[in-house]
């Protein structure tokens, strides 16, 4: 037995047996389950188990016979993890019976690596194309009225910064940004006369405006890859106290993505020129939003925006006179 151990065959025999049993025993238990379902006879199962054990030892013995030339692999330290990449493994196996297998494995690994890289490039190109299409849609919405020009991109930028400030994971932050970029896409269904009207909207006209979150969700719904963005479009006009639209849901019923977009959307609306109001100072805007926190806005989202504005991370370019108190305004809709 000592010579058996010295040759290393015993080690590999035991290892191969363990590997064989690892592969075979689940099959035995699966066969056992099936057989018990149709005919619960334990003796037959035991016989099957014994046969599997015998086959395992037979396979181990055959495997061990090929291991005599494997000492140089042990000496190279491959089995202990000293050799890390496929090329080193090929060199370690160059003079063993497994040289051909190693070469094939290296070729397969390289092929998979190239295929993965090609697929990644394809996905990246498709993502860039999709992102460009989103920007085009957002621009098409904003260009309908001069005062909305750049609105969607600003809201997307604010929402992204807020999400990051709140500690959201990178992929969640990106979802928030993309949803914010498209948050008003449903406005494409609003009549131009309503979009450019400077006087107060009628109830019927306001109903048309309030339907834009639903229209936006409907536009994205046929695109399966954009389904994760739908909550941001569909719920961004909801309020924590249930006074929002289109559903009138409350608090945690409103997805976090939509709560972030709601704050970013309102912040941009209040700090830019609109036909019904002059822009407000950003810090004063934060004060207004803090008074509405817990009623209309999520307090944590407002707090994140507050931190960004007071830290100077968000800077709103002022192109018109600003007010340090509530400005007189000709409201055409309740935002």
| Segment 178-210, tens digit of pLDDT | 999 999 999 888 888 888 777 788 999 999 999
Q: Name the least confident of 6-10, 100-104, 111-115, 128-132.
A: 6-10
| pLDDT tier for residue 155 given thresholds of 50, 70 and 90 | very high
22: tokens are 């690892």
Q: Residue 320: CA atoms inside 13 Å, Cβ hemisphere, count?
A: 13
Q: Name the least confident of 56-65, 91-100, 290-299.
A: 56-65
Q: What are phi and psi of 300, to 5 degrees?
A: -70, -35
Q: Is the pLDDT of residue 301 over 80?
A: yes
Q: pTM, whole model, 2 decimals?
A: 0.61
| pLDDT tier for residue 99 given thresholds of 50, 70 and 90 | low
- Alpha carbon of residue 253 to chain centroid: 21
pLDDT at 93: 53
Q: Is the pLDDT of residue 277 over 70?
A: yes
CATH 3.30.2350.10 fits 143-311, yes or no: no
- % pLDDT > 70, the chain: 59
- Reported as a single tens digit per residue, the pLDDT across 16-28 is 444 444 444 444 4
Distance between CA atoms of 28 and 38, rounded to whole angstroms?
16
Q: Is the pLDDT of residue 239 over 80?
A: yes
pLDDT at 259: 98
Mean pLDDT over 159-167 rounds to 98
Q: Name the least confident of 33-47, 117-131, 288-302.
A: 33-47
pLDDT at 266: 96
User: In this structure, are residues 277 and 323 in contact, taking their beta carbons and an 8 Å threshold?
Assistant: no
| pLDDT tier for residue 175 given thresholds of 50, 70 and 90 | very high
| pLDDT tier for residue 40 given thresholds of 50, 70 and 90 | very low
Helices (H), the chain: 2-6, 9-38, 42-65, 71-76, 86-92, 99-142, 151-165, 170-181, 192-195, 203-210, 212-220, 230-234, 256-271, 282-291, 299-311
Mean pLDDT over 125-132 rounds to 70
pLDDT at 183: 94
Instruction: Tell me the sheet residues that pair with 277.
Output: 274
Q: Is the pLDDT of residue 73 over 70?
A: no
12: tokens are 């590999």
Choose among 217, 226, 228, 232: nearest CA to 187.
Answer: 217
Q: Residue 137: CA atoms inside 13 Å, Cβ hemisphere, count?
A: 21
User: In this structure, are residues 331 and 200 in contact, taking their beta carbons and an 8 Å threshold?
Assistant: yes
User: In this structure, are residues 197 and 205 in contact, taking their beta carbons and an 8 Å threshold?
Assistant: yes
Other C-beta atoms lying within 10 Å of the C-beta of residue 305: 29
Q: Tell me which residue has tokens 């969700």.
A: 217
Q: Is the pLDDT of residue 214 over 60?
A: yes
pLDDT at 143: 75
- Going 38 to 43 to 47 to 50, the CA torsion angle's sign is positive
Choose among 50, 48, 53, 25: nearest CA to 35.
Answer: 48
Distance between CA atoms of 194 and 42, rounded to whole angstroms?
79
pLDDT at 89: 55
| pLDDT tier for residue 72 given thresholds of 50, 70 and 90 | very low
pLDDT at 98: 58
Choose among 125, 149, 126, 90: nearest CA to 226.
Answer: 126
Q: Name the least confident of 48-57, 135-144, 208-217.
A: 48-57
Q: Is the pLDDT of residue 286 over 90?
A: yes
pLDDT at 278: 83
Burial of 120 (C-beta count, 10 Å sphere; 0-12/13-18/19+): exposed
Contacts of 158 (CB under 8 A, 6+ apart): 180, 263, 264, 267, 268, 305, 314
Contacts of 198 (CB under 8 A, 6+ apart): 275, 276, 330, 332
Mean pLDDT of the chain: 73
Q: Is the pLDDT of residue 54 over 70?
A: no
Which is higher by pLDDT, 149 or 254?
254
């Amino acid at each position: 037995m000592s010579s058996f151990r010295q040759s290393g065959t015993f080690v590999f025999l035991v290892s191969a047996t363990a590997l064989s049993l690892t592969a075979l025993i689940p099959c035995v238990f699966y066969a056992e389950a099936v057989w018990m379902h149709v005919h619960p006879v334990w003796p037959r199962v035991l016989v099957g188990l014994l046969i599997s054990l015998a086959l395992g030892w037979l396979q181990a013995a055959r495997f061990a016979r090929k291991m005599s030339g494997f000492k140089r692999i042990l000496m190279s330290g491959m089995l202990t993890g000293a050799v890390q990449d496929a090329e080193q493994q090929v060199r370690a196996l160059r003079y063993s019976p497994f040289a051909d297998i190693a070469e094939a494995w290296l070729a397969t690994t390289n092929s998979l690596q190239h295929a993965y890289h090609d697929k990644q490039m394809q996905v990246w190109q498709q993502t860039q194309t999709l992102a460009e299409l989103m920007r085009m849609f957002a621009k098409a919405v904003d260009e309908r009225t001069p005062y909305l020009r750049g609105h969607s991109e600003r809201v997307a930028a604010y929402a992204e910064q807020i999400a990051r400030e709140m500690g959201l994971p990178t992929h969640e932050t990106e979802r928030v940004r993309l949803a914010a970029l498209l948050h008003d896409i449903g406005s494409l269904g609003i009549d131009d006369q309503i979009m450019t009207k400077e006087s107060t909207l009628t109830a019927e006209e306001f109903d048309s405006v309030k339907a834009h979150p639903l229209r936006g969700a409907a536009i994205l719904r046929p695109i399966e890859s954009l389904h994760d963005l739908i909550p941001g479009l569909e719920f961004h006009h909801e309020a924590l106290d249930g006074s929002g639209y289109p559903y009138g849901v409350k608090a945690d019923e409103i997805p976090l993505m939509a709560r972030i977009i709601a704050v970013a959307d309102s912040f941009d609306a209040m700090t830019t020129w609109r036909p019904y109001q002059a822009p407000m100072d950003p810090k004063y805007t934060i004060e207004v939003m803090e008074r509405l926190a817990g009623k209309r806005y999520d307090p944590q989202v407002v707090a994140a925006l507050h931190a960004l504005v007071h830290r100077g991370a968000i800077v709103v370019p002022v192109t018109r006179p600003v007010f340090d108190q509530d400005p007189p305004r000709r409201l055409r809709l309740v935002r």
